[in-house]
């Protein structure tokens, strides 16, 4: 049995090697896993008019795929943030947790003999989260956060030519264009929404004017070996909105550190 499996694997390898390039699809995949620590500012007037500041912990997982010979690439990011903040006098606390999924499609332009890569495209951002006011009103101590945004996006990556590909500097920015978000109306309780079924404009269209959200990343990657690339950087995520006569924001600044892997996959085209 083992000999048969070995023979089959050998034949498959020889078959792939014998295929013309037109029948093979080569794809470069870059995976990055980062964790960050930083500061956060939280406001939600549905729960309290008080502003809260504290510490945030963020995990960010990124996968970027591009076929060799193509100017198009696909970017997927999973971002999870948890935070704890207190008011100005330290008597009240706010807990926050948010998960974001980003899926983007980009076209690239190589400039400066390949040293500079500019990418432009659009990203869809689905966010799910919650706020909990530890000393809030017994009827409304928590607030749900749910949104779906379409965000124009741009990326610039620079590879200094004198460092032989070991160092890269990358900047990414996302700004919302249109979307939808969930929000209770002013004075409306969750009991009214979900137990009584009283809808009151709880799914709200948003624009850059009603939800001036902004997200940016700055990353420096240094390759130590063919298997190890270290990354250091900054992630700024400014989520804010003013809808249904309510104001809310979660603004975080995080120092990020992580590991990046880059590899090539070859698949057979049918």
Q: Which of 177, 181, 237 is nearest to 207 (CA)?
A: 177
Place of tokens 């500079």: 116
Q: How much is the pLDDT for 27?
A: 80
Binning pLDDT at 50, 70 and 90, where does residue 94 land? very high
Q: Which of 72, 76, 159, 168 is nearest to 120 (CA)?
A: 72
The residue ranking higher by pLDDT, 29 or 105, is 105
Can you tell me the distance from the alpha carbon of 185 to that of 244, in angstroms, rounded to the nearest whole number?
5
What element of type H or E holds 18? helix 2-18
Q: Do residues 268 and 22 make contact, with C-beta atoms less than 8 angstroms apart? A: no
pLDDT of residue 266: 54
118-147: pLDDT as tens digits: 999 999 999 999 999 987 666 678 999 999
**Better pLDDT: 257 or 190:** 257
Domain boundaries, the chain: 27-268
Report the C-alpha gap between 57 and 98 in whole angstroms: 11
Average pLDDT over residues 231-249: 95
Contact 239, 40 (CB under 8 A): no
**Per-residue CA distances from 91 to 40, 45, 199 (Å):** 17, 17, 34
The 10 Å CB-count burial string (b at 16+, else e) for 84-97 is bbbbeeeebbbbbe
Structure-model confidence comparison of residues 12 and 157, the more confident one: 157
CA dihedral sign, ordered 216, 168, 31, 228: negative
pLDDT: which is higher, 18 or 214: 214
Average pLDDT over residues 219-224: 91
d(C-alpha 94, C-alpha 51), whole Å:
9
- Give me the chain's average pLDDT, please: 87
Q: What is the DSSP letter of 187?
A: T
pTM assigned to the model: 0.85
Query: Is domain 27-268 given the CATH code 2.40.128.100 in the classification?
Result: yes
Residue 237 has pLDDT above 70, yes or no: yes
Do the Cβ atoms of 57 and 235 come closer than 8 Å?
A: no
Which one has a higher pLDDT value, 246 or 8?
A: 246
Task: Find tokens 């983007």 and name the residue.
Answer: 104
Band (12; pLDDT cuts 50, 70, 90): very low
**pLDDT at site 270:** 47
- Beta carbons of 200 and 188 less than 8 angstroms apart: yes
Q: What is the pLDDT of residues 150-207, one digit of tens each?
A: 999 999 999 887 776 689 999 999 998 999 999 999 988 888 888 888 888 899 999 9
Please give the pLDDT value at position 28: 86
Q: How many residues does the chain have?
A: 270
Question: Both tokens of residue 128?
Answer: 């799910």
Q: Give the pLDDT confidence score for residue 161 in this predicted structure.
A: 76
Closest by CA to 183, choosing from 125, 230, 242, 270, is 242
- Percent of the chain topping pLDDT 90: 64
Rounded to a whole number of angstroms, the CA Rg of the chain reads: 23
């Amino acid at each position: 049995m083992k000999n048969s499996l070995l023979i089959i694997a050998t034949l498959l390898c020889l078959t792939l090697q014998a295929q013309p390039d037109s029948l093979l699809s080569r794809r470069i995949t870059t995976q990055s896993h980062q964790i960050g620590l930083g500061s956060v500012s939280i406001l939600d007037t549905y729960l309290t008019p008080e502003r809260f500041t504290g510490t945030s912990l963020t995990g960010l997982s990124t996968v970027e795929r591009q076929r060799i010979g193509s100017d198009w690439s696909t970017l997927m990011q999973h971002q999870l943030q948890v935070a704890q903040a207190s008011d100005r006098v330290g008597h009240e606390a706010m807990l926050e947790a948010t998960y974001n999924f980003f899926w983007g499609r980009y076209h690239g332009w190589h400039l400066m003999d390949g040293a500079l890569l500019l990418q432009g495209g659009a990203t869809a951002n689905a966010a799910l989260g919650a706020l909990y006011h530890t000393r809030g009103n017994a009827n409304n101590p928590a607030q749900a956060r749910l949104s779906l945004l379409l965000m124009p996006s741009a990326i610039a990556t620079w590879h200094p030519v004198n460092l032989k590909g070991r160092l890269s500097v990358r900047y990414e920015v996302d700004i919302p264009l249109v979307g939808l978000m969930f929000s209770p109306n002013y004075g409306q309780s969750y009991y009214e929404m979900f137990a009584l079924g009283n809808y009151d404009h709880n799914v709200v269209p948003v624009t850059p004017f009603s939800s001036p959200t902004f997200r940016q990343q700055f990353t420096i990657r240094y390759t130590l070996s063919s298997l190890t690339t270290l990354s250091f950087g900054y992630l700024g995520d400014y989520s804010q909105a003013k809808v249904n006569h309510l104001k809310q924001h979660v603004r975080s600044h995080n120092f990020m550190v992580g590991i990046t892997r880059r590899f090539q996959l070859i698949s057979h085209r049918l």
